[in-house]
Homo-oligomer: A and B are copies of this chain.
Amino acid sequence: MQPTVRTHPVLIGGRWRPSLAPPGDLHAFDPARGTPLEERYPISGWPDLEAALSAAQAAAERLGQLPAEARAEFLEGYALRLEANRERLVATAAQETGLPLEPRLNSNELPRTVDQLRQAARAVRERTWTQPVLDTARNLRALRGPLGGAVLVFGPNNFPLAFNAVSGSDFAGAVAAGNPVIAKGHPLHPATTRALAELALEALLGSGLPAATLQLVYHFPPELTPALVAHPAVACVSFTGSRAAGLAIKAAADRAHKPFYAELSSVNPVFVLPGALEERSERIADEFLASCTTGSGQLCTNPGLVILPSGPVGERFAALARERFERQAPGVLLSAAGLRSLEAAVQGLIAAGATLLTGGTRRQPGWRYSNTLLRVNARAFLEAPEAFQTEAFGPVSLLVFADPQRMPEVARALEGNLTGTIYAHSGERDDALHAALSALLRPKVGRLANDHMPTSARVSAAMQHGGPFPATTHPGFTAVGIPASITRFTALQCYDNWRDSRLPPELQDANPLGIWRWVEGVWTREGVNGRAQSRSK
């Protein structure tokens, strides 16, 4: 298959150049209308990937030699350019994704992307992600440093800016830590990705970093993944997307013994306790509607599973929720394939024994799906807990009706999730159940929220946007939040018995950068007075 039309260039080695012998091409769609967009982008073959690998390897070596401040300047320059081009960027993203301009893209996602880059820049300047440790008695010093190779970033479909492989959290983290990025943009929003990468390249050229700090390809045949991942220039792989796609890439990373970070699927169980419903049913129903339909429910923290008390209080809440779900216009989904997956997931839930409360139908124009609620009782849920934990990526939630005393059993049957949520009475009425559920949920989720819906992953130092499998593949890491998301892309590096003048400034006695360091069991920004004897005699 040869491309029949002129395609956009790829970004490799610091310049935009035609794709080398691409095995095909792709185009985006307007999901609100379900119509194809005109611009064509190459599907890269091995020649592009090989060129990207070799450019990235050279960039990794140079990045290791340059002062970290150049990375901060780049990240800040990039953030400024995103702001300056805001209107164009969000318009492009809106067209390719069907996500609303307001508030989503213009007032939330773009500012969040900008803020994330600036937080990463600040972390670079303050070196928070380096976690310097000094043991002066033994003259041992350690910090986190770059990996010495590229981070291969696979961007998702649902955040064209804040998780884009050329501008999102993984990108910011990888570059902040001093690694070049080989980005695979998501094929559903290539124009957005290209526009972002153009600004990234401009910012790179003004920063003193290697221009090849970022390589961008739009897509490549999945059969090239194993060779790409195994290439010595790739130090680490990061992925955000579906479980099936992520696990296929993980298998390649595992075989090549490369660190792999994935953010996969999550149903984000929400337990609504009786006292909370007696107190504020309507408000919780409002919050549920907003959370489950934001971004047409295509959020990794979508409340896909809501556990309610059986009986009148729970039934009343279900009625309130249903009324709201029916009143709200159906949103646009990202793709025809996403629509098909969503239909299949809902059919799967019904086949497992759930009942449709409302929704469950395609809508027009373009790719739309009605806001959907299903229900099941706890007994049925507990008989096939895996089937009922299938992620339905869209405005869909399964209500599980359980006697409050059986809620802990439901909690026990849950898989790993990004989030878990408990709504409780504002006084003490739900305390015992809250305590029991918290203890059970704590090791199963990354973020355990109280009294608000889970769709609230903030770029905060205290965020955990990760969790046990199948939410991610390692419960110790987060994809969002600075500096923690940066440390994913670092190696722990010890300097043993070095002369002070040869040490990186982060570890020198005088602490010339004035950064926080862990020195003999104390966090301090002071320098070390006097220097321990060298162990070399």
Footprint of B on A, CB under 8 Å? Answer: 60, 64-65, 126, 128, 133-135, 138, 140-142, 144-149, 247, 250-251, 254, 257-259, 419, 434-435, 438-439, 442-444, 446-452, 456, 458, 460-464, 466-470, 473-478, 481, 484, 487-488, 490-499, 502, 516, 518, 521, 523, 534-536
6 of the cross-chain contacts (CB-CB < 8 Å) are A142-B462, A147-B443, A148-B444, A450-B497, A450-B498, A450-B536
- CB pair A448 B523 closer than 8 Å: no
**Chain B contacts of A446 at CB under 8 A?**
491-494
Question: How far is B420's CA from A498's CA once the two chains are assembled, in angstroms?
Answer: 13
Q: Which of A147, A443, A477, A497 has the most CB of B within 10 A?
A: A443
- CB pair A476 B259 closer than 8 Å: yes
- CB pair A442 B502 closer than 8 Å: no
Question: How far is B112's CA from A537's CA once the two chains are assembled, in angstroms?
Answer: 23
Closest to A472 in B: B257
**Chain B contacts of A144 at CB under 8 A?**
476
Within the complex, the shortest CB–CB distance from A443 to chain B, in Å, comes to 2
Within the complex, the shortest CB–CB distance from A163 to chain B, in Å, comes to 18
Question: How far is B464's CA from A536's CA once the two chains are assembled, in angstroms?
Answer: 19
Question: How far is B187's CA from A54's CA once the two chains are assembled, in angstroms?
Answer: 46
- Other than the given A149-B443, A247-B257, 12 more pairs (CB < 8 A) read A133-B462, A140-B462, A141-B462, A142-B481, A145-B442, A438-B502, A442-B493, A447-B494, A449-B496, A450-B498, A466-B492, A476-B487
**Chain B contacts of A456 at CB under 8 A?**
496, 535
Nearest first, the 7 A-B pairs at minimum CB distance are A148-B443, A523-B523, A464-B494, A254-B254, A451-B536, A475-B491, A449-B496
Closest to A247 in B: B257
Within the complex, the shortest CB–CB distance from A449 to chain B, in Å, comes to 4
- CB pair A65 B443 closer than 8 Å: no
- CB pair A496 B259 closer than 8 Å: no
Question: How far is B144's CA from A369's CA once the two chains are assembled, in angstroms?
Answer: 39
Closest to A232 in B: B415
Each complex incorporates copies of this chain amounting to 2
- CB pair B148 A521 closer than 8 Å: no
**Chain B contacts of A145 at CB under 8 A?**
442-443
Question: How far is B499's CA from A492's CA once the two chains are assembled, in angstroms?
Answer: 36
Decide yes or no: A64 and B439 within 8 Å by CB, A144-B476, A460-B135 being known contacts: yes
Closest to A440 in B: B61
- CB pair A452 B536 closer than 8 Å: yes
Question: How far is B536's CA from A317's CA once the two chains are assembled, in angstroms?
Answer: 18
**Chain B contacts of A444 at CB under 8 A?**
148
- CB pair A477 B492 closer than 8 Å: yes
- CB pair A464 B493 closer than 8 Å: yes
**Chain B contacts of A499 at CB under 8 A?**
450
Q: Which of A149, A258, A259, A493 has the most CB of B within 10 A?
A: A493
Question: How far is B491's CA from A466's CA once the two chains are assembled, in angstroms?
Answer: 9
Closest to A481 in B: B142
Within the complex, the shortest CB–CB distance from A73 to chain B, in Å, comes to 20
Question: How far is B473's CA from A439's CA once the two chains are assembled, in angstroms?
Answer: 32
Q: Which of A140, A452, A498, A523 has the most CB of B within 10 A?
A: A140
- CB pair B452 A497 closer than 8 Å: yes
Question: How far is B442's CA from A475's CA once the two chains are assembled, in angstroms?
Answer: 28
**Chain B contacts of A463 at CB under 8 A?**
135, 140, 142, 494
Question: How far is B308's CA from A223's CA once the two chains are assembled, in angstroms?
Answer: 44
Question: How far is B462's CA from A134's CA once the two chains are assembled, in angstroms?
Answer: 6
- CB pair A138 B257 closer than 8 Å: no
**Chain B contacts of A138 at CB under 8 A?**
458, 460, 462
- CB pair B448 A468 closer than 8 Å: no
Contact partner of A443 among B442, B449, B491, CB < 8 A?
B491
**Chain B contacts of A516 at CB under 8 A?**
523
- CB pair B518 A64 closer than 8 Å: no
Question: How far is B141's CA from A146's CA once the two chains are assembled, in angstroms?
Answer: 27
Within the complex, the shortest CB–CB distance from A172 to chain B, in Å, comes to 17
